[in-house]
Chain A
Amino acid sequence: METFDKDNRYSNILGWLAFLVTSVALYMVFEYAPTERVMGHIQRLFYFHVAAAWIAFFAFFVVFVGSIIYLKKRSTFWDNIALASAEIGVAFTTIVLITGPIWARPIWNAWWTWDPRLTTTLILWFIYIAYIILRASADESEKKARFAAIFGIVGFVDVPIVFMSIRWWRTIHPQVIEGGGMNLAPTMVQTLLVSIAAFTFIYFYLLLRRVKVEVLKNQVKEMKEELRKLQYN
């Protein structure tokens, strides 16, 4: 019980920090950062879009690292980290995939442009959805963790090759639409950095919570098994 309270305190502190920084980020996005001359207000989406993308990639990097350590050490802790990070990564990737087209529509006059970055994000989304489905279809928890870790490594190794091949593919099929080259004012850069910080706090807060849920789940499972043993005898 004591460790539970302690864990709770840490994640509470992290939660409040995330709330605080996110509030500052919101203020900066809507008030502090100037309105972009050409794109107008829609450009403010950029701060969330980029921050979410950054966190998504970071989350999948954590899955990769967690997977390697799991295969080396076989500790449930690292498996939980990988699982939690994959789920959060999928959530943030979804945000990227939704904000991308909303932003692109008025600017490029198309919802989807097969831009290398956006397309890679889509493939990334598929890979980690596959990761979660793979977990769900293995029976024993040890196998679940092992298979997921293997796929977590394979999936992450694949990402740079995906990006590279899609970029080459795009250069061969030139389109009128050019990737968004933007001159960022210093205040914009500051706003972006604070947004990224805010999303990072949110990420770690969610990670802690998700791992906790998994730990509790396992505890419940163990208790149930104990109970079943007692009744069976």
Chain B
Amino acid sequence: MGNQPLLAVKELKKDIGKKNILSDINFSLNQGEVLSIFGPNGAGKTTLLKLLSTVTDLTTGELKIAGESVVENTIHLRKDIGVISHHTFLYGDLTAYENLKFYGEMYGVNNLKDRIFDVIDEVGLNFCLHDLVRTFSRGMKQRLSIARAILHFPEILLLDEPYTGLDQHAIEMLNRVINGLNTTQRTIVMITHNFQQGLNLSDRFLILVNGRVRFEGVSNDFNLLELQEKYKELLGE
């Protein structure tokens, strides 16, 4: 791969119908970097994440993962992406094991059984591997959802408001997992309303307003108050 960025976004534009949702989005992410994206509701954060996760097509521009164009290699490149969202994507009438088995088969994971035991260990859900997901608490579902997202060894993790509806304990758990993942050099893009978490966990951040990147910063250069001030300044004009 050389010094090619793992994720490269160039002049990305997305229209839905006549409406422009995103325009002129540029950024790139090297392996192991964590990027947070902040922005008010309707700024286009979710659409941007949908574009990155290839479930929706871009209108114009370029989106490359490991140097390969997503437009041309959509299905193949999906194997490199894992998504953790406030929706868990899990099936309530299947057990934790069955959910992971299903997704593992969809992604064509090798040695699936061992891998399932590995990830379930990582998120600490061994004790309820064969319980129906329907009976899980919100935090347990979210943990299983993390296991689901990392099951197929994705290069890039996309996090869409992962903290929504989590209690303090589950938030710590999630952070441990993300941090833990980070040591294994996983690249992460995260959108969140939670400034504190977003700032602590990331190397860099973007502020998205009205479908455009209005600010780019290095996370270490900002503390929470400075970030909030900057955010207010961008919105309040």
Binding site for B on A (CB under 8 A): 74, 76, 140-142, 145, 218
Question: Any chain A CB within 8 A of the CB of B18?
Answer: yes
Question: Any chain A CB within 8 A of the CB of B16?
Answer: yes
Binding site for A on B (CB under 8 A): 16-18
In the complex, how many angstroms separate the beta carbon of A162 from the nearest chain B beta carbon? 32
9 contacts between A and B (CB under 8 A): A74-B17, A76-B17, A76-B18, A140-B17, A141-B17, A142-B16, A142-B17, A145-B17, A218-B18
Question: Which A-chain residue is minimally distant from B19 (CB atoms)?
Answer: A142
Please name all residues of chain B whose beta carbon is closer than 8 Å to the beta carbon of A74 when the two chains form the complex. 17
In the complex, how many angstroms separate the beta carbon of A141 from the nearest chain B beta carbon? 6
Question: Which A-chain residue is minimally distant from B15 (CB atoms)?
Answer: A74
Question: Which B-chain residue is minimally distant from A222 (CB atoms)?
Answer: B18
Given the complex of chains A and B, what is the CA–CA distance between A142 and B14 in angstroms?
Answer: 14
Please name all residues of chain A whose beta carbon is closer than 8 Å to the beta carbon of B18 when the two chains form the complex. 76, 218
In the complex, how many angstroms separate the beta carbon of A80 from the nearest chain B beta carbon? 12
Those 9 A-B pairs whose CB atoms lie nearest each other, nearest first: A142-B17, A142-B16, A76-B18, A141-B17, A76-B17, A145-B17, A74-B17, A140-B17, A218-B18
Please name all residues of chain A whose beta carbon is closer than 8 Å to the beta carbon of B17 when the two chains form the complex. 74, 76, 140-142, 145
Interface residue SS majority, chain B: loop
Please name all residues of chain B whose beta carbon is closer than 8 Å to the beta carbon of A142 when the two chains form the complex. 16-17
Known: A76-B17, A76-B18, A218-B18. 6 other contacts (CB 8 A): A74-B17, A140-B17, A141-B17, A142-B16, A142-B17, A145-B17
In the complex, how many angstroms separate the beta carbon of B143 from the nearest chain A beta carbon? 33
Given the complex of chains A and B, what is the CA–CA distance between A210 and B215 in angstroms?
Answer: 45
Given the complex of chains A and B, what is the CA–CA distance between A10 and B42 in angstroms?
Answer: 40
In the complex, how many angstroms separate the beta carbon of B74 from the nearest chain A beta carbon? 18
A74, A76, A145, A218 — most chain B CB neighbours (10 Å): A74
In the complex, how many angstroms separate the beta carbon of A216 from the nearest chain B beta carbon? 15
In the complex, how many angstroms separate the beta carbon of A55 from the nearest chain B beta carbon? 30
In the complex, how many angstroms separate the beta carbon of A228 from the nearest chain B beta carbon? 12
Please name all residues of chain B whose beta carbon is closer than 8 Å to the beta carbon of A218 when the two chains form the complex. 18
Question: Which A-chain residue is minimally distant from B235 (CB atoms)?
Answer: A233
Question: Which A-chain residue is minimally distant from B18 (CB atoms)?
Answer: A76
Given the complex of chains A and B, what is the CA–CA distance between A140 and B16 in angstroms?
Answer: 10
Given the complex of chains A and B, what is the CA–CA distance between A74 and B56 in angstroms?
Answer: 15
Given the complex of chains A and B, what is the CA–CA distance between A218 and B18 in angstroms?
Answer: 10
Please name all residues of chain B whose beta carbon is closer than 8 Å to the beta carbon of A145 when the two chains form the complex. 17
Please name all residues of chain A whose beta carbon is closer than 8 Å to the beta carbon of B16 when the two chains form the complex. 142
Question: Which A-chain residue is minimally distant from B236 (CB atoms)?
Answer: A233
Question: Which B-chain residue is minimally distant from A218 (CB atoms)?
Answer: B18
Question: Which A-chain residue is minimally distant from B17 (CB atoms)?
Answer: A142
Given the complex of chains A and B, what is the CA–CA distance between A74 and B17 in angstroms?
Answer: 7
Given the complex of chains A and B, what is the CA–CA distance between A14 and B135 in angstroms?
Answer: 66
Given the complex of chains A and B, what is the CA–CA distance between A230 and B68 in angstroms?
Answer: 42
Given the complex of chains A and B, what is the CA–CA distance between A129 and B162 in angstroms?
Answer: 43
Question: Which B-chain residue is minimally distant from A76 (CB atoms)?
Answer: B18
Given the complex of chains A and B, what is the CA–CA distance between A113 and B18 in angstroms?
Answer: 48
Question: Which B-chain residue is minimally distant from A141 (CB atoms)?
Answer: B17
In the complex, how many angstroms separate the beta carbon of B50 from the nearest chain A beta carbon? 14
In the complex, how many angstroms separate the beta carbon of B109 from the nearest chain A beta carbon? 33
Given the complex of chains A and B, what is the CA–CA distance between A141 and B16 in angstroms?
Answer: 10
Given the complex of chains A and B, what is the CA–CA distance between A140 and B21 in angstroms?
Answer: 14
Given the complex of chains A and B, what is the CA–CA distance between A76 and B18 in angstroms?
Answer: 8
Given the complex of chains A and B, what is the CA–CA distance between A145 and B18 in angstroms?
Answer: 12
Given the complex of chains A and B, what is the CA–CA distance between A74 and B16 in angstroms?
Answer: 9
Given the complex of chains A and B, what is the CA–CA distance between A142 and B16 in angstroms?
Answer: 7
Given the complex of chains A and B, what is the CA–CA distance between A140 and B18 in angstroms?
Answer: 12
In the complex, how many angstroms separate the beta carbon of B55 from the nearest chain A beta carbon? 15
Given the complex of chains A and B, what is the CA–CA distance between A205 and B73 in angstroms?
Answer: 47
Given the complex of chains A and B, what is the CA–CA distance between A76 and B16 in angstroms?
Answer: 11
Given the complex of chains A and B, what is the CA–CA distance between A218 and B17 in angstroms?
Answer: 12
Please name all residues of chain B whose beta carbon is closer than 8 Å to the beta carbon of A140 when the two chains form the complex. 17
In the complex, how many angstroms separate the beta carbon of A230 from the nearest chain B beta carbon? 14
Given the complex of chains A and B, what is the CA–CA distance between A21 and B17 in angstroms?
Answer: 39
Please name all residues of chain B whose beta carbon is closer than 8 Å to the beta carbon of A76 when the two chains form the complex. 17-18
Given the complex of chains A and B, what is the CA–CA distance between A47 and B154 in angstroms?
Answer: 68
In the complex, how many angstroms separate the beta carbon of B157 from the nearest chain A beta carbon? 29
